[in-house]
Each structure stands twice: as structure tokens, then as C-alpha cells.
Chains A and B, each alone.
Chain A
Amino acid sequence: MKKLIKLTVNDREVEAAVEPNLTLTDFLRYELNLTGTKKGCETGDCGACTVILDGIPVNSCLVLAVQANGRKVETIEGLATEEGLHPVQDAFVEHGAIQCGFCSPGMIMSAKHLLDKNPKPDEGEIRAAIAGNLCRCTGYQKIIDAIKSV
């Protein structure tokens, strides 16, 4: 039995009827076509599906779409504007912090959240903020360099 939900995704009001077992990841990806949010494990371990829910970064694979009812979701697609890339995105590109790119949307969301709360984090704070986002390509060094540069 589908449930009606109403939420804000990247500052847009969205209404949908969803199955109660549909994850927020699958809702964003397959119902709203916001495929920037990635699925790496579906068990909350890799962080590739990180979105910001009411100001808090979450693994969207561990959140049901119905749990997002009435709440505010920010995804990677909401960052860039007509003026261009968000400063965090630009820093990731500039510093070579992106290789395969599969962890990047989630990683960038975690980094953006950190910088929104703490504009001048030290290295330990940066490492802690992205500790839930696995990256197998970069060894994290250039990601940390990028976040420091913003």
C-alpha cells in the first residue's frame, strides 16, 4: 500500500506516492531521477549515498522515503548554481580529489556540511567528517587538500 509523502528536495516541493519499504536512495534515484546520489553497499557502510536531511548528513540507504515526509533533503544536484560549481565542487576538481567519482557526491555532501558548520576545520576535523565516506581511489590526501582550500 503506497503512502503519500511531501518533502522538499533541493528547495523544490515534491509530492509522491511511495511504497513503505522504498529507501530514500531509491526514491531519489529512480523516482526523482536524481542519480547523483550513489549506491555502493545499501547497508550504510560506504557513504556514497550521503545526502543532507534537515541539516544532518545521512546515509540515504538507511532512511525510508516515508521517513523523509515533511522534511528537507539536499542532494549533490542541489549544489551547483547557474554561476557554476559550488566552491566545494570546484575545489575537488581543482585539487584532483576525484578519480572514479563514485564516492564523490557523498563525499562532497559530507564536506559541504562540515564547512557550513565549521568554515575553518583543522585536518583532524576534516578526517573525522569524511570518515564515513569510503574512497578506494585517492587515499583521501587530495580530498583533504581540497577541503582545506575552500
Chain B
Amino acid sequence: MSDHHVINSRARRVDTPAKATGRAVYVDDISRPNMLYGALLQSPIAHAKIISIDTSAAEKLPGVKCVVTSKEAGLVKYGVSPARYDETVFCHDKVRYVGDEIAAVAAIDRETAEKAVELIKVEFEPLPVLLTIEDAMAEDAPLLHEKYPRNITGEVHQEFGDVAAAFKECDLIKTTTVKNKRQDGGFIEPQGCIAEVDLAGNLTLTSSTQSPHYIQRTVAMVLGLDIGKVRVVKAYVGAGFGPKAGTNPMELACCLMALKTKRPVKMNYSREQVFLFCRARHAFTHKITIGVKKDGTLMALEHECHLDGGAYASFGPATVYYAGSLLAGPYKLPNMKYDGYRIYTNKPACGAQRGHGAVIARAAFEQQLDMIAEELGIDPLELRQKNMMETGDTTCNDLNMSSFGMAECLNAVTEGSDWKSKKGQLPPGKGIGLACGFFVSGAGFPIYRSDTYHGTVMIKLTEDGGTVLVYTASAEIGQGSDTTFAMIAAEGLGVPLEYVRLASGDTDMGVDLGAYSSRQTLMTGHATKEAAEDVKRQVLEVLSDELDVPVDTIDIVNGRIVFDRPVDFSGLRTRYIKEHRGWTDNPESDYFTFKEASRIAYLKKGTIVGTGKYKPHFLGGTYKGAAVGTSPAYGCSAQVAEVDVDLETGQITITQIVDAHDCGKAINRTSVEGQMQGSISMGIGEAMHEEVKFDAKGNVINNDFAEYKMVTALDMPPVDAIVVETDEPNGPYGAKEVGEGAIMPTIPAILNAVYDATGVRFYELPLTPERVFEELQKKKG
């Protein structure tokens, strides 16, 4: 049984009754009096110079209130990482992909705005369209952005240890190249926003964002506004998975038009526009060479990766680092060399998506481990166990595993799947595969270099009644963070969860970097715990003073004041009751209640407010790029997939997945399982079906959910999600990530299972029946 009263349970989430009843308000559910509707003009061609833009016909259309282009928006560059700012609100000299924003219109209704957009005339001079890495890196290729020779947005060259020397000591060196395809975020709520300006000139942007903080800074910077007058509020958000973490041009255009018209402006992406904005998973090509000794000891990794990035940097410069740095674990690997290149192409920009940068690298690595195991005649489970890192180990690139329940995860999935009796024993067409992975619990630095706290939390006790109000700027986007922080606040203060009311996702509430890189449970969790303990201390100090007992002899447990000795609190109770003459719910309990204590504390000190904050300590790594990969803690996981392959048609059915994830201390066990199951479904989608496809002109040809195939309830196998707990010293109550790490083993576990079933290795995703059929035919010869 848990030592805790609130956390480490299966609490009902605080936000889901509203979601279950349709009462939860998402951006598009909001309407304001006098509201205008905005629409964007996006480029119909992938690469061209802009010769002229004529908005006169659009401006004359009745009902149009505002037309803006780069003339009105200015040319302040923005993006994700300040060193790579390469976007402006609107294109002015050229367009770089089909969908690049050229102008926006605000009108009295959506139809008028869309009609006005069609009336804007743009004259283009076409440029060569670069759709592949090879074309974009060619010597004579035109540059998408003048600053970046050979269209390289980001380049990484790292070596830890001495790979060449280590390879000389190896008995087996193996090289494979693995490719995936561009994956879309696939969140069900398209991005939307509403901007409004009050009479004092304060701008409020309500948006479906994963990071109100970053959007606030970008809006202020790009539009030249005093940041004190910019407030960004997150409505309920219909998930994000990464693509909603950066500012989108619609948010900026919407703010600009609200400022110009002095009326609220609402905008939405259509589903097609979600595909055009993209900022989702890159297409990676990983060339991986692993060297081992004949007993299976891992010696060295040489790794080269190319990322097809699309037309802007977005999170890409971080992605190219993650694609390399997160191969340094979860196995002991003393030598690692990495060369990464992120390339501009004339396609929508890619960015961060669940498992940022590391998912395909992990797939390539884990598949190759199985190939090495086979060549050495070692069971793939044993090979992994032999090389597995343990708690306290540090990778060659300085990632410290301050807790690491990898061995427990491996045991859990192999027992849970009956691995030992199945591996090597299944009939042709049936297969079982294993893989592992790990991921960060937040990054060491904000995306802009700063000494800022990564999260601040304020907790206030209501002046009467002892209700605990928690204010955090963190972003609940579906993962359950509001409930997590309400639970941590209740635990830290010693009250039941029902006493807590939480508000989040508003830049007026403090600083929080938002929902990305699996950071919030650890980081915002720390700040919440600190704020709760601050409030508790203040209440206990007042009681100590009033009752003349030492403060360290008093505690708050389950909403009751607990003393370690008999204490007469009748005087305080009388004072409380006198404050509430005529009330029918005055306390009669034989214990002093938190409600009474919080009132007494208020009478003595005024409003009781506690604050908490968090930023990571120095996390190690002094080399260039050390900030991408170092984290206060790492979650880790193992998965076993079982598949059934039709050897005639190539149709693969995944029949079961057993997953174990070490999340440190589980704050809400149900939510932890939900993150594991959701991660697996996204991994299965990428392994089996998902691919954003382009025609020769750079148009997305499957920009809807009919042709872009995501996992349905019929595709999803049963998932056994096993929560493994360790005590993470750097996490609040020992908690660390689960939101992204759980996707790491999914693709390679499937690849290894398909090989077990068919004897065929696949080096390109997704595993469509066509691709599998062709390879099976080749094998038959």
C-alpha cells in the first residue's frame, strides 16, 4: 500500500466530467460579441519569388474589415530557437512551400473572409522545387534561406570516446540504414485562436497551444508589443503531441487583425491546413554502425542521420540533436560518433512530435541489436540485459540515469508476454519481438537561453472555507497534468483532492514553459509541491503560535490537523464558530479541521499565498549541443509485440503488445497507463500506416483522415500496460516522465516481431501490405 494519501492512486481526473458532457470549452466553442472571422491566403506553389500582391479587390468586398500582408505585419523574424529564427508572419520576397502564408483577411463571417482571400492576386516567378534531401543538398541547388549553404538548417558533429579505436577491438561490426516517412500530429482538434484587445490596449490571445509562455513572448516580439500587455490563455486543447508547441502564423495574424480592427477575431485551421502547417515528425534516414565483441559487449556506435525538414527550422535544430544524443543509452556504450544534418526542402516544416527526434533512431538501433544477437547466437533479451544501464550510470555524452528501472521493465514484459516459451517457438507467420527505449523528463534549458524558472506555481487558500486554489501557467492538453498538479498540491498540503481547485494555462498565472519534452510532471510538479509546502508551513506556523506548541509537532493529514500530543484547540474553534454565527455547518469533530486552521491563519496573516518554482540544476555536458539530451531524469521502457503476418498477402496484424514503463513514482496510475497506451497507438500508426505523401509539385496529396491512415479501434491490439516504479531523486515524490518515452520501443518491437514471423528485415516504414508483400516475394525468389 502507498505511503501517500492522494498521489499514487487512480483518482478521477478533474477535467473529464466537463469533457464527457460536452461542457469543456475549446477555442472554437468560444464566441465573442462583434467577433470577426479570419482567413489566410496560403501559397499554391512550393517555391517562387513573389513579384506583386494586389489586395485591392479583397479590400472592396462588402463585409471585409481588414486585409494584412507583410506590409502591415512587418518582417521581424521568429521561430522556435532564436539562433534559427527564419520565419516572418507573411512571406514578402518568396514562398517556400505549398501553404506558406502570404496574407490574411478579417471579415464579418467565415464565408466572406474566404471569398476575400480568393480575390487577392499574387504574381509569382516560379523557382525550382526541392522535395528531397539529395536535391536540396546538391551543389547547384537554389537556397531556401540565403543564410544556410546547401540548405542545411542544422548540423551536428559529435564524438564521445574513440569510435575508430573501439571498432578495431570489435568482433562484429554491422551497418544498416533505416528510413521512416513524415508523420502528421493527427490531433483531432485543428488549431484555432481568438484575439481580442481591450480599451487599455491589452491583447488577449486564446489559443489551442501547448505553450502559452512561448506564444506570449513570440507575439510580443513579432508585433512589437509591450509583453506586459500580452496575455495568452489556453482553452481546453484537443491534444498536441508537439506541433502545437510553437507559435503558428495564424496566431500572429489573428492578433495583428484584432489590433487593427479593435474587434475580436477568430481563426481556425481546416484539417487540410493542419497538414500544411505540419510541424510534426520529420522524415529521418539513419545510417547506423554498431560494433560489439563476440560476447555481445557493445563497444561503439557510428551514426549518420539526415532529416528532411521542410521549409522552416521550427524545432528542427533541436530534433537533429535529439536524433543523435538519445542513442547513448539505455545500454552502456562507451564510444559514440554522430553526424546529423537537418535539411530545408520545399515542403511544410517538420518540428517536434512525441518522442522528439529519437523514435526512428531507436527503431534502427533496436532492430540492429536483434540482428547482432542473431549473428552472435545470443538471445536478444540476454544481449539487452548484458549491456543495460543501471541506476547511477552516466552515458558517454553525460546523461545521468538518476533512477533507471530498465531491468524491471525487461522482466515485466518478458514475463507478461511469456517471451521465453514463445521466442523461436512460433510457427511461420507468427512472431514476437522485443525492444527498449528511454526519454527525457524535460530539457535543461528553455528553448531560448535564459535563467528563467521553468515553472512557477502559486497556491492561495480561500480566505474562508479552506479551499486550495492552485494557479499554474502549465498546459493541460489531454495528458492529465491538471489532475497531476491538483493531486501533488493536495498531497503536499495534506488535504483531500476535493479541496483543490486548479486553474492553468494562462500567462497571467506565472511562467511555465508548457507541455513538451515530457517536462511538466517533473518540473511543474516540483513547483507545485514547493508551493503547497509553503502554504502548509504558513498555516502550521500560525497554529504553533496560537496554540503555543512547537511547529514541528503539528501536521496536516487528510484535511485534519494532527498533533503529536494532546492539544486543547477549543479556544481556536470558538473563534472560528464566532466568525460563522448562524451557519449550519460549523465543525463538531474531535479534531481541528484544515478549514478552521486556514481561517485562523487568514485572520492572523491576511490571505495565505504560497509560491513554488523550479529550474533544473546543472545537468552535465560542456560540449556543444549538451543541452539537448541532458535532463533531470529519464523514464525508460520495454515492449514485446506479437504479430500475425499473412505470408501470401503481406498483411500484418499486431495481436498483442505488452509494455512496461518506469515513470518513477506514478502520481495517477490511470493516467500513466493512458500515456503508455496512447504512445503505443501513435507508434503503431507510424510503423504500419502513416505517411504524409506529396506530389511532384510539393502538394500534400493525403491531407485528410480518409487517406492519411491513423490507427482505429479495429487496428489497435490489446495493450497490457505495466507500470514500473522507481524512486527518482530529482522528481517530485520521485516522479518522472511517461508521455513520450513509451513510444520508443513500439516500432522496433514490431519490426523484430515481423522478422521473427517472416525472416525478412525491413529498412523502410511504414509496413504497408504492398511493401511487405514485395519483400516476401523477393525472399521467395
A contacts, CB < 8 Å to B: 29-30, 34-43, 45-46, 48, 75-77, 79-80, 85, 89-90, 92-96, 98-105, 108, 126-128, 130-144
A101 touching B705 by the CB < 8 A rule? no
Chain A nearest CB from B233 CB (Å) reads: 17
Roughly how many angstroms separate A40 CA and B274 CA in the complex, as a whole number? Answer: 11
B682, CB-defined interface residue at 8 Å = yes
* Most interface-central of B10, B671, B678 (chain A CB within 10 A): B678
Chain A hits for B31, CB < 8 A: 30
Chain A nearest CB from B701 CB (Å) reads: 15
Chain A hits for B237, CB < 8 A: 100
A108 touching B20 by the CB < 8 A rule? yes
* Most interface-central of A103, A138, A140, A142 (chain B CB within 10 A): A140
A-B Cβ contacts below 8 A, count: 177
Q: Can you offer 27 A-B residue contacts whose CB atoms are under 8 A? A: A35-B28, A35-B29, A39-B28, A39-B190, A40-B188, A41-B704, A46-B188, A48-B188, A77-B21, A85-B21, A89-B21, A90-B20, A96-B674, A101-B20, A103-B188, A130-B713, A134-B705, A134-B712, A137-B478, A138-B677, A139-B677, A139-B711, A139-B716, A140-B677, A140-B712, A140-B713, A141-B673
Scan B676-710; emit 1 where CB is below 8 A from any A CB, else 0: 01111110000000000000000000001110001
Interface residues of B in 21-46 (CB under 8 A from A): 21-26, 28-29, 31
Known contacts A134-B188, A135-B188, A138-B674, A100 near B239 by CB under 8 Å: yes
Roughly how many angstroms separate A126 CA and B714 CA in the complex, as a whole number? Answer: 9
Nearest 5 A/B pairs, CB to CB: A36-B22, A100-B478, A101-B19, A102-B238, A139-B677
Known contacts A93-B12, A137-B674, A131 near B713 by CB under 8 Å: yes
Roughly how many angstroms separate A148 CA and B721 CA in the complex, as a whole number? Answer: 18
Chain B nearest CB from A60 CB (Å) reads: 13
A89 touching B271 by the CB < 8 A rule? no
Roughly how many angstroms separate A37 CA and B24 CA in the complex, as a whole number? Answer: 11
Given contact pairs A99-B239, A135-B713, a sample of 14 additional A-B residue pairs in the complex whose CB atoms are under 8 Å apart: A36-B22, A40-B188, A43-B271, A45-B705, A98-B19, A99-B674, A101-B19, A101-B24, A104-B20, A131-B713, A136-B241, A138-B677, A139-B678, A141-B718
B428, CB-defined interface residue at 8 Å = no
- A96's nearest neighbour on chain B, judged by CB, is B670
Roughly how many angstroms separate A86 CA and B710 CA in the complex, as a whole number? Answer: 29
B246, CB-defined interface residue at 8 Å = no
Q: CB < 8 Å: which of B12, B236, B270, B682 contacts A101?
A: B236
Chain B nearest CB from A79 CB (Å) reads: 7
Roughly how many angstroms separate A50 CA and B10 CA in the complex, as a whole number? Answer: 29
Q: CB < 8 Å: which of A76, A89, A95, A102 contacts B26?
A: A102
Number of interface residues of B (CB under 8 A): 57
Roughly how many angstroms separate A75 CA and B478 CA in the complex, as a whole number? Answer: 22
B13, CB-defined interface residue at 8 Å = yes
B492, CB-defined interface residue at 8 Å = no
Known contacts A36-B23, A136-B241, A100 near B681 by CB under 8 Å: no
Chain A hits for B479, CB < 8 A: 99
Roughly how many angstroms separate A131 CA and B716 CA in the complex, as a whole number? Answer: 10
B681 touching A140 by the CB < 8 A rule? yes
Chain A hits for B712, CB < 8 A: 131-132, 134, 140
* Most interface-central of B13, B19, B23 (chain A CB within 10 A): B19
- A143's nearest neighbour on chain B, judged by CB, is B713
A42 touching B270 by the CB < 8 A rule? yes
Chain B hits for A130, CB < 8 A: 713
B224, CB-defined interface residue at 8 Å = no
* Most interface-central of B188, B678, B682 (chain A CB within 10 A): B188
A139 touching B187 by the CB < 8 A rule? no
* Most interface-central of A40, A75, A99, A127 (chain B CB within 10 A): A99
B189 touching A100 by the CB < 8 A rule? yes
Roughly how many angstroms separate A90 CA and B710 CA in the complex, as a whole number? Answer: 27
Chain A nearest CB from B7 CB (Å) reads: 15
B186, CB-defined interface residue at 8 Å = yes
Chain B nearest CB from A8 CB (Å) reads: 18
- A144's nearest neighbour on chain B, judged by CB, is B713
Chain B hits for A40, CB < 8 A: 188-190, 238, 271, 705
A101 touching B678 by the CB < 8 A rule? no
Roughly how many angstroms separate A102 CA and B186 CA in the complex, as a whole number? Answer: 12
- B704's nearest neighbour on chain A, judged by CB, is A43
Roughly how many angstroms separate A133 CA and B714 CA in the complex, as a whole number? Answer: 11
B377, CB-defined interface residue at 8 Å = no
Roughly how many angstroms separate A29 CA and B478 CA in the complex, as a whole number? Answer: 22
A127 touching B713 by the CB < 8 A rule? yes
B678 touching A99 by the CB < 8 A rule? yes
B429, CB-defined interface residue at 8 Å = no
Chain B nearest CB from A142 CB (Å) reads: 6
Chain B hits for A95, CB < 8 A: 670
Roughly how many angstroms separate A101 CA and B714 CA in the complex, as a whole number? Answer: 20
A45 touching B15 by the CB < 8 A rule? no
Known contacts A141-B677, A144-B713, A102 near B17 by CB under 8 Å: no
A141 touching B23 by the CB < 8 A rule? no
